[in-house]
Amino acid sequence: MTSIQPLKIVNPESNVMSGKTPLISLDKLKDHTEALKGMSNSQRQSVLKSQLEVRQHTVIEHRGNIVGSFGDNGFKFFASNADASIALQFDPNDYARTLAALQKSYNGELTISSYSHGEGPKKREIYEQMYGKLPANPISTFA
């Protein structure tokens, strides 16, 4: 099976505005997208399912509802594009500034649960809590 390493993808437009350099070039993103296309359907499904097993070291809730999480693999998940756009304004590893900006946007009403790496809930558990079920077609966090 083709080995694909997770990518930290950043919105290039947000990088231009913030003066940060993108973490991945569009060419590299295209390479990973092509690698996914080159996989058989069962290989692709295996990769997507494995992403659901990634532990989340930070879970963000607003009034008892999960609005986002940060995975042990470095990926951030948000229920809304607005929250994701806030996170894209900061260095991907700057969790403190990201969380502070999210707290500000929610008027300080967020509950942040932090876990040691490998100890938090799995991405599948986050999806199940948020939506009551797993997505029929998980979204690849590789491309």
pLDDT tens, position by position, 111-130: 999 999 999 999 999 989 98
Q: How far apart are CA 42 and CA 47, in angstroms?
A: 9
Total-model pTM: 0.69
Question: What is the reported pLDDT for 102?
Answer: 96
Task: Give ∠ CA 93-47-128 in degrees, rounded to 5.
Answer: 75
Q: Which residues pair with 114 in a beta bridge?
A: 58
Of 16-25, 39-48, 63-72, 92-101, minimum mean pLDDT range: 16-25
CB-CB contact of 19 with 81 (8 Å): no
pLDDT at 46: 81
Q: DSSP letter for 88, please.
A: T
pLDDT band at 139 (very low <50, low <70, confident <90, very high): low
